[in-house]
Amino acid sequence: MEAGTASSGSGIHLPGMEIAKASKNRYEVMIGPAHPGSGHMRIFVEVDGDIMVKVDPDIGFVHRTMEKLAEGREWIQNIPLFERIAILDACNITLPYVRAVEKLLGIEAPERARYLRTLLCEINRVASHLYGMGIFGVFLGHSTLYMWAFGDREVFIDLAERLTGARLTHTYPVFGGVRRDIPDDFPEDARKATRYMRKRLNEYAKIFLNNPNIRSRLENVGVLTKNQAAELGLVGPNIRASGIRYDVRLNEPYEAYGDVDFEIPVFEEGDSLARAWARVEEVRQSLNIIDQVVTWLEKHPRENFMHEKFWKTAPKLYKDVYEGKISYSPKYRIKLMPIFASLKVPPGKSFARVEAGRGEIVYYVESNGDIFPYRVRVVSPSFRNVIAFKYVMPGHRLMDLPAIYGSFDYFPPAFDR
Amino acid sequence: MPAKVSQKKNPKRNPLGKVFAGNIGALAVGLKYFFDPNRITLLYPHEYIKLNKGYRGFIVLIKEKCISCSSCARICPAAAMRMLSVKVYNEKLKKYMIKKYPVINYNRCIFCGLCVDVCPTEALYHVPYHDIVYENMNDMILSLEDFQKEPENIEFKEGIPVKYYFDERRGLVKTPYMEELEKRNEKEEKNQKVEGEGEKGAS
């Protein structure tokens, strides 16, 4: 296997700091550090002629010390902080932190809040996949898909804006509930958006995935076998394209995922094309979930959006704001109790995971009863996916690098945290 | 019902061959959008989006409602909001007292809206716009007087207000928001009548 030989070298491997012996026909190519297509990442590629021999992703360019910063902030202040890990997937990224703290507090979000969280998670997943698809398109020189995907992403960002009040940094789930209920005209808008997107996905397939030019660049390129994917510990749509049936929504249903009806698409091939199709199919399932959740929210009365522990102490003004009786503030806003500003979480350790757009995200939270967390550990999906480059890319030609890179839908700020 | 796994495969290449199945299909879709494009571009300074009431934009203080509890300053994740001590004349006790009011530094604000949500008397509220230019960074640290006014938006004077609507066929459709335009025209007419000769917005 080329993968084995490529990884084993002599001496210590410190990326960027080693002195490489120049052999006759080998050149080192730097992809990055500021790549126009994706952001700040760097990949050291050693090429023999046109063929990649050694690929070394150099992580750490956008490191923001999130975990350390979290130790100096109060519990609720960390929610807007962790959003910055992957800003286009904000709800999915912060949800496990909220769930972990809820476990420590010994509370669980009520039913309506669970459905509202699921709704925003799926809207975010669609937006995140469309972003990835657009980057994938422009990496392969297909600017049409880039424009289309980013334009259609706007539809879902607009939906999220109507729900939460912000386009990307929603700060939507809070301990014990959510911050807003859906507006009155939201279900209709959401249904229009999903119907539009289903039709658009067929056109995406026509112009991009079934396009013979694109197909021949993706088919049998960057094949990740089932064993390899399991061995490297990859997550998300990337392993589901290699035939592994692993999805947190399936294995450990959280929020309202146990109640909605949807499928987890699993592909066998494991090549770049399968990874792209896995995302398209996943978007389709997400649209189904949005439809179901919106119907549920419409049918059920607007109550139970915040945990009893917090909401029962709410003064009359809070209920007036929710019902829209205050002229200058919008309707269906759920105000936070002043206790949130100085929340003390009982000591303990907890752990939560969620299936984000790019894969499983894990939070480990430790509290010693203070107003700050003692330790927060984040393992983001891109961090677990980036290692695949090292084992999948060698053996391919240099022109296949963007095809493989794009198909892994990998987001530099997410691995560096 | 929990999720189900559905086993799928990459769609096969069409037996009709590359040319018919792929290229022609892609070209047909491309041609369709060549003649009937899906445009959502906003010509920004000339048009601006009239955002919904729930949008989390700039924050305004209603001083009379503030009870100086400093919840907003404590919850602020970016330390943008601080409490300012002000001497206030108390008419009941007939003496000057120190009272605290929040002020904001827009250099730091991330518009998360936690301060507005945590305020127990609803003394803060959002205005539904966020595109405001300051001449220098010191102006972005608002004084107590500035914090009580709704910030002025220059686009509102000249640009055309636009709203995006959801559509099944087109996704988002950009439509001029006529109500807002009419409102503004009425205002201008009134101003012209009052001032005698109308000073048209030279800014």
Q: A8 pLDDT band (50/70/90 cuts)?
A: very low
Which of A81, A183, A210 shows the shortest C-beta gap to B11? A210
Measure B137 CA to nearest chain A CA, in Å: 23
What is the least distance, in Å, from the CA of B92 to any CA of chain A? 26
Q: Does A9 touch chain B (CB under 8 A)?
A: no
Model pLDDT for residues A326-351, shown as the tens digit of each residue: 878 788 888 888 888 888 888 989 99
Q: Which of A161, A203, A262 sits opposite B29 (nearest CB)?
A: A203
Would you say residue A26 lies in a domain?
no
pTM: 0.86
Reduce the secondary structure of chain A to three states and give it as a string.
CHHHHHHCCCCCCCCCCCCCCCCCCEEEEEECCEECCCEECEEEEEEECCEEEEEEEECCCCCCCHHHHHCCCCCCCHHHHHHCCCHHHHHHHHHHHHHHHHHHHCCCCCHHHHHHHHHHHHHHHHHHHHHHHHHHHHHCCCHHHHHHHHHHHHHHHHHHHHHHCCCCCCCCEECCEECECCCCCHHHHHHHHHHHHHHHHHHHHHHHHCCHHHHHHHCCCCCCCHHHHHHHCCCCHHHHCCCCCCCHHHHCCCCCCCCCCCEEEEECCCCHHHHHHHHHHHHHHHHHHHHHHHHHHHHCCCCCCECHHHHCCCCHHHHHHHHCCCCCCCCCECCCCHHHHHCCCCCEEEEEEEEECCEEEEEEEEECCCCCCCEEEEECHHHHHCCHHHHHCCCCECCHHHHHHHHCCCCHHHHHC
Q: Looking at chain A, which residue has its C-alpha nearest residue B52? A: A162
A-chain residue closest to B119, CA distance: A338
Contact B77 A73 (CB under 8 A): yes
Q: B164 to chain A nearest CA, in Å?
A: 9
With 80 as the cut, is the pLDDT of residue B198 above it?
Answer: no
Q: Does residue A231 sit within a domain?
A: yes
A48 found inside a domain: no
Q: At A226, list the tokens.
A: 């089932």
Does some domain include residue A53? no
**Which of the residues A158, A189, A292 would you substitute to probe the B interface, choosing the one with the greatest number of B C-beta atoms within 10 Å?**
A158
Q: pLDDT digits over A18-45, tens only? A: 555 666 677 888 887 777 666 677 888 8
List all residues 6 or more positions away from A344 whose beta carbon is below 8 Å from its beta carbon: A369, A370, A371
Asked whether residue A30 is assigned to any structural domain, the reply reads: no
- 8 Å CB contact of B75 and A76: yes
Q: Where is average pLDDT lowest: A71-85, A103-117, B8-22, B130-144?
A: B8-22
pLDDT digits (tens, 9 = 90+) for A135-180: 888 888 888 888 888 888 988 998 888 888 888 888 888 888 888 8
- Contact across the interface for A165 and B126, Cβ inside 8 Å: yes
Does A407 reside within a domain? yes
User: Is A32 a member of any domain?
Assistant: no
Contact present, A304 and A171 (Cβ < 8 Å): no
Q: Which of B8, B112, B170 is facing A267, going by the closest CB pair?
A: B8
pLDDT reported for residue B202: 46
In a domain, A45, yes or no: no
Taking the C-alpha atoms of residue A69 and residue B112, their distance in angstroms, rounded to an integer, is: 18
Please determine, for residue A59, whether its predicted confidence score (pLDDT) is greater than 60: yes
Average pLDDT, chain A: 84
Q: What is the pLDDT of residue A350?
A: 92
Q: What is the mean pLDDT of chain B?
A: 81
Domains in chain B with CATH codes: 59-146 (3.30.70.3270)
Is the pLDDT at B197 greater than 60? The verdict is no
Where in the sequence is the domain holding A395, given as residue range(s)?
66-416
Q: Across-strand partners of A367?
A: A348
Q: Is pLDDT of A394 > 50?
A: yes
* Structural domains counted in chain A: 1
The domain spanning residue A240 has which CATH number?
1.10.645.10
Of B69, B75, B172, the CB nearest to A154: B172
